[in-house]
Chain A
């Protein structure tokens, strides 16, 4: 089955800095890579996703990159703000096939004002 590794487990940055979270996956059949943000005491919610036919996707201050050859993908947050503080999960799965995503262990991002 799929195995997703996520690093780092904790990331502390100053407001305005950039943050990068990296994930690797094992199953070459995976073609959908979502990122979820979980604020304290809340449910995880999708913030951005990327499919295997795309190398990079941006949405305002967040971007995701995918390297299918190396089987890794990353989340980039620029100009971090205190409200970006949360736990971020990456996931990988085969969209349209075996739907159930495999999640990484999460990264706790702390943005200091």
Chain B
């Protein structure tokens, strides 16, 4: 059971470039989300999805797009990278039921925008 798989682990982008961070889960979880982690700021929610075909914005959505065409995959797209997007990104998924609300995280992507 792979859990939540996130790729790549490291990435360096030039300002203005675009890229997609991949996230896949094999636990049939309804809920998937993307967070960015910056020093002293904790985990801030970028976008989330409560099921295939449904996405919504979180706390810091600007500059990012998401889609959820399948239950398993939830890619995060950076449209035009900026130095302010230098961060560690985590994808997470969860069942969301009343008996099981634990969030399972991917291994993270350390992104540097130069």
Interface residues of A (CB under 8 A from B): 6, 9, 32, 34, 36, 42-46, 49, 89, 91, 93, 95-96, 99-106
Measured CB to CB, the residues of B under 8 A from A are: 30-31, 33, 35, 40-43, 45, 48, 50, 58, 90, 94, 96-98, 101-103, 105-108
Nearest CB in chain B to that of A10: its residue: B40
Flag if B101 contacts A93 (CB, 8 Å): yes
Q: Which residues of A contact B102 (CB under 8 A)?
A: 34, 46, 49
B90 A95 Cβ-Cβ under 8 A:
no
A-B contact list, 29 entries, CB within 8 Å: A6-B42, A36-B103, A42-B107, A43-B106, A43-B107, A44-B43, A44-B90, A44-B103, A44-B105, A46-B103, A89-B42, A89-B43, A91-B103, A93-B101, A95-B97, A95-B101, A96-B97, A99-B31, A99-B94, A99-B101, A100-B33, A100-B58, A101-B103, A102-B45, A103-B35, A104-B42, A105-B40, A105-B41, A106-B42
Chain B residues within 8 Å of A46, by CB = 102-103
Residues of B within 8 A of A106 (CB): 42-43
Decide: A43 and B108 in contact? CB cutoff 8 A: yes
CB pair B43 A100 closer than 8 Å? no
